[in-house]
């Protein structure tokens, strides 16, 4: 089994780098109060209360001092102390990073350590040529590396505001983000990856390519889809609808708002309250909510008639737009928006059908990923954490549902890892974790097995024995949401979508104004050609620009093909073809080009 990051040398190294940074800061900014400084996924941070605000430019000096301190080869030693000793150390004016003026947060952290737990400090010490002892001391659980000399390859990245203890009512501290690696090559590779990620940032590409936009007048996290982005959505929706129809799904459409009673019954009002927009009340004092999930509506449709075992499985699919009140600091472009559209479906199945239906869902998800070119993924099965009591439903059901999922994976030959504690509160689930072109992992499609909602809504079907039975629900969303999937695809392809997905597939470039009429005719002919049972998407560049400029702009818009049209082409009945991937392909008859695509 792979070593956990939390147990790795790299984790200790980054934690030690956070301390080294804190040491540099306390030297350069007397009076700076330290709070917490943990390692995180790609580096570390430290939250510090500076006497006066600092700027990103100041990080250079801090980083320089860190490198000097690293070379001084300070031994890093753990010391375990009593609570009284700890307090005395924190208030000890003779230690540079300590004393009552800067003790505020450390004293609170000390108080938060439960009675009986070991209290430890990490002490970095060195003796200079004159024989004077220098030390930097920090209240910390550790562990750390042995000497600051090991912390060679560090880089301070950015600063941000962070509330003490994450509470907006508390003071805002300055968070400094940094990273550290074991080798210069690793650090360089990471920085290169970040550069690449910046180029692929879906928020920038989404704007530059005309896919979507945000407006402060509309509101935080509420995307406006522009024509090219809307086409992209349509293509993905059409693709999924076709796949679903072929697999026996039935479409349903439900409203954007619903009576709160429905969501009280489903339990969402209690478990999901902090993600819901404020409620609204009508003149008859009925309360409505903006739907955060589609499930209860689909359940109402299921429950609207008597069901027999012969009717099952029932598979209701909807591109359901939901709204969730994400914290404004957590909203990230269309990856985490406040309004988004799920490729949602709910399957109502008998216990006998559960495994086959689950296999069907996973098979659909695999087909979707192959079509989208996202073939590097792992499967995570989220199960119940046996030590927690946040779950609902009988143990027998949990065992059966978990077995249905793992058996389905075995039958499909899928490698999966079990992740205890990652289940939904009502049942176990399977998540697809997609690795993108930069090696970053994205949690996308999900399938959940649910015994809880059928119970809450007292759903039934009449079994072969003529008695009522309870169906099981499967919730699934292969894309996750359209927004999240388009965000991922935009970054994966750096905006250069595969031909079938490209909002504009062919751009016709008339060389001079006198070729515009023929260019329009050519575009009209191309639009009569069906590709993936849709008309080819063709645009003509009507501007009076030079051909060079038109080609450059078409390249920037990442269109897969340009067709250049001049005198000779019109005379010979050819088009000059330029491909996004292969460059200039020369003149060819239109039929030959069509064969190519």
Q: Which residues are catalytic?
A: 295, 324, 342, 344, 346, 429, 475
Q: Is 585 exposed, middle or buried (0-12, 13-18, 19+ CB in 10 A)?
A: middle
Q: Residue 143 or residue 373: which is nearer to Zn ion going by CB? A: 143
User: How many CB atoms within 10 Å of residue 479?
Assistant: 26
Q: CA-CA distance, 336 to 106, in Å (whole number)? A: 34
Stretch of 95-103, 226-234, 468-476, 569-577 lying at the interface with Zn ion (CB under 5 A): 468-476
Which of 475, 484, 515, 578 contacts Zn ion by CB under 5 A? 475
Minimum Å distance from CB 527 to Zn ion?
39
Q: Residue 99 or residue 143: which is nearer to Zn ion going by CB? A: 143
Which of 140, 317, 335, 365 contacts Zn ion by CB under 5 A? 140
Q: CA-CA distance, 138 to 582, in Å (whole number)? A: 58
Minimum Å distance from CB 295 to Zn ion?
3
Between helices 83-90 and 104-112, what is the axis angle to 10°? 170
Minimum Å distance from CB 231 to Zn ion?
28
Cβ neighbors of 482 (< 8 A, separation 6 or more) are 233, 236, 237, 319, 340, 341, 342, 343
Stretch of 46-54, 112-120, 137-145, 398-406 lying at the interface with Zn ion (CB under 5 A): 137-145
Q: Residue 76 or residue 295: which is nearer to Zn ion going by CB? A: 295
Stretch of 4-12, 234-242, 273-281, 469-477 lying at the interface with Zn ion (CB under 5 A): 469-477
Q: Residue 156 or residue 295: which is nearer to Zn ion going by CB? A: 295
Which of 66, 151, 295, 477 contacts Zn ion by CB under 5 A? 295
Q: CA-CA distance, 157 to 143, in Å (whole number)? A: 23
Q: CA-CA distance, 395 to 399, in Å (whole number)? A: 6
Q: Residue 138 is encoded by which pair of tokens? A: 């920090």
Q: Residue 240 is encoded by which pair of tokens? A: 């999924």
Cβ neighbors of 174 (< 8 A, separation 6 or more) are 47, 48, 49, 50, 53, 54, 159, 160, 161, 162
Site size with Zn ion, rule: CB under 5 A: 3
Q: Are strands 416-420 and 377-383 parallel, antiparallel or unpaired?
A: parallel
Q: Residue 307 or residue 476: which is nearer to Zn ion going by CB? A: 476
Tokens 């000059």 belong to 576
Minimum Å distance from CB 322 to Zn ion?
10
x/- track of binding to Zn ion for residues 150-189 (CB under 5 A): ----------------------------------------
- The DSSP result for 269-304, as a single string, is HHHSGGGSPPPEE-TT--EEEE-S-SHHHHHHHHHT
Stretch of 97-105, 167-175, 219-227, 291-299 lying at the interface with Zn ion (CB under 5 A): 291-299
Does 276 engage in binding with Zn ion (CB under 5 A)? no
Minimum Å distance from CB 123 to Zn ion?
12
Peptide bond into 313 cis (omega under 30): yes
- If we measure between CA atoms, which residue out of 284, 20, 38 comes closest to residue 148? 20
Collapse the DSSP code of 41 into the 3-class scheme (helix H, G, I; strand E, B; otherwise coil) and give the result.
coil
Minimum Å distance from CB 116 to Zn ion?
21
Q: CA-CA distance, 591 to 573, in Å (whole number)? A: 10
Q: Residue 138 or residue 483: which is nearer to Zn ion going by CB? A: 138
Stretch of 288-296, 365-373, 407-415, 562-570 lying at the interface with Zn ion (CB under 5 A): 288-296
- Which one-letter DSSP state was computed for residue 29? S
Minimum Å distance from CB 307 to Zn ion?
18
Asked if residues 290 and 257 have their Cβ atoms less than 8 Å apart, the reply is: yes
Asked if residues 16 and 151 have their Cβ atoms less than 8 Å apart, the reply is: yes
Q: Residue 140 or residue 449: which is nearer to Zn ion going by CB? A: 140
Strand partners, 575: 588
Stretch of 66-74, 134-142, 417-425, 428-436 lying at the interface with Zn ion (CB under 5 A): 134-142
Minimum Å distance from CB 276 to Zn ion?
15
Q: Residue 244 or residue 574: which is nearer to Zn ion going by CB? A: 244
Report 18-77 residues binding Zn ion (CB under 5 A).
Answer: none
Provide the binding-site residues for Zn ion, judged by CB under 5 A.
140, 295, 475
């Amino acid at each position: 089994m792979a070593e956990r990051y939390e147990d790795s040398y790299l984790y200790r190294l980054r934690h030690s780098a956070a301390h080294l940074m804190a040491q540099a800061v306390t030297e350069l900014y007397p009076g700076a109060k330290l709070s917490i400084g943990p390692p995180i996924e790609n580096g570390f941070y430290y939250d510090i209360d500076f006497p006066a605000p600092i700027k990103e430019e100041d990080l250079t000096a801090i980083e320089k001092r860190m490198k000097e301190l690293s070379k001084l080869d300070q031994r890093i030693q753990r010391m375990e102390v009593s609570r009284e000793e700890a307090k005395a150390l924190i208030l000890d004016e003779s230690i540079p990073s300590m004393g009552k003026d800067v003790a505020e947060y450390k004293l609170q952290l000390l108080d938060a350590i439960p009675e009986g737990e070991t209290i430890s400090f990490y002490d970095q010490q060195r003796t200079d040529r004159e024989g004077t002892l220098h030390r930097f001391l920090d209240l910390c659980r550790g562990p750390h590396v042995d000497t600051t000399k090991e912390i060679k390859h560090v880089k301070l990245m950015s600063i941000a505001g962070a509330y003490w203890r994450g509470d907006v009512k508390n003071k805002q501290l300055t968070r400094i983000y940094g990273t550290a690696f074991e080798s210069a090559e690793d650090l360089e590779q990471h920085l290169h990856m970040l550069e690449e990620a910046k180029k692929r940032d879906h928020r920038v590409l989404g704007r530059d390519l005309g896919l979507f936009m945000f407006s402060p007048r509309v509101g935080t996290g509420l995307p406006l889809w522009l024509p090219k982005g809307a086409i992209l959505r349509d293509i993905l929706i059409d693709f999924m609808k076709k796949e679903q129809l072929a697999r026996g799904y039935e479409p349903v459409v439900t409203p954007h708002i619903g009576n709160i009673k429905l969501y009280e019954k489903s339990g969402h009002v209690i478990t999901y309250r902090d993600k819901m927009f404020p409620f609204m009340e009508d003149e008859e004092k009925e309360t409505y909510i903006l739907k955060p999930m589609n499930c209860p509506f689909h359940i109402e449709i299921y429950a609207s008639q008597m069901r027999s075992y012969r009717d099952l499985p029932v598979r209701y699919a909807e591109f359901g737009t939901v709204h969730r009140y994400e914290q404004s600091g957590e909203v990230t472009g269309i990856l985490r928006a406040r309004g988004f559209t799920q490729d949602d479906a709910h399957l109502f199945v008998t216990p006998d059908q559960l495994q086959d239906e689950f296999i069907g869902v996973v098979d659909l998800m695999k087909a979707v990923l192959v079509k989208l070119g996202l073939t590097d993924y792992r499967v995570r099965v989220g199960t119940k954490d046996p030590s927690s009591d946040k779950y609902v439903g009988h143990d027998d059901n949990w065992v059966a549902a978990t077995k249905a999922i793992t058996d389905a994976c075995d039958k499909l030959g899928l490698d999966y890892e079990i992740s205890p504690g990652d289940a939904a509160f009502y049942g176990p689930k399977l998540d697809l974790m997609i690795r993108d072109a930069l090696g970053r992992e994205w949690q996308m499609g999900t399938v959940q097995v649910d015994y809880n909602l059928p119970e809450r809504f007292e759903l039934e079907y009449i079994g072969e024995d003529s008695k009522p039975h309870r169906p099981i629900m499967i919730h699934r969303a292969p894309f996750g949401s359209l927004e999240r999937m388009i965000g991922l695809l935009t970054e994966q392809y750096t905006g250069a979508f595969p031909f079938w997905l490209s909002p504009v597939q062919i751009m016709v470039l008339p060389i001079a104004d006198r070729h515009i009429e023929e260019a329009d005719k050519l575009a009209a002919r191309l639009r009569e050609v069906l590709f993936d049972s849709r008309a080819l998407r063709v645009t003509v560049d009507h501007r009076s620009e030079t051909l060079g400029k038109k080609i450059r702009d078409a390249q920037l818009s990442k269109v897969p093909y340009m067709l250049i049209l001049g005198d000779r082409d019109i005379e010979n009945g050819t088009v000059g073809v330029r491909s996004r991937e292969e460059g200039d392909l020369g003149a060819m008859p239109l039929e030959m080009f069509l064969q190519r695509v």
